[in-house]
Amino acid sequence: MNPRVLKVAYKENYQLLLTFTNKEIKQFDLSAYLNYPVYEPLKDEAFCKKVKAADGIIQWNEYIDFDPDTLYLESKPVTSMAQK
């Protein structure tokens, strides 16, 4: 089982900064998923910015969430210097 999400922060241009339970910090590009019907509401950046971490996943409301395994496997590590 891959680590789960502890914290999420919306950056810009549909980029999410994720902190995982193993303390890794990674960046996930959500833009590739925006044309899937379930994720189309996230094209509205004001709504997309409302992302939150809960129970190891990220979610926007009771209908839109994201698989934590996909988040972990498809995100890119962030160096400590890039976070500052």
10 within 8 A of 49, measured Cβ to Cβ: yes
pLDDT surpassing 70 at residue 69: yes
Residue 1 pLDDT: 81
Q: Provide the domain count of the chain.
A: 1
CATH number at residue 73: 3.30.2020.10
- Alpha-carbon distance 39 to 1, whole Å? 25
Per residue in 38-66, pLDDT (tens digit) is 999 999 999 999 999 999 999 999 999 99
Strands (E), 1-84: 5-10, 15-20, 25-29, 52-54, 57-59, 65-66, 76-77
Range of the domain at 57: 5-83
Write the pLDDT tens digit of every residue in 6-43.
999 999 999 999 999 999 999 999 999 999 999 999 99
Q: How many residues does the chain have?
A: 84
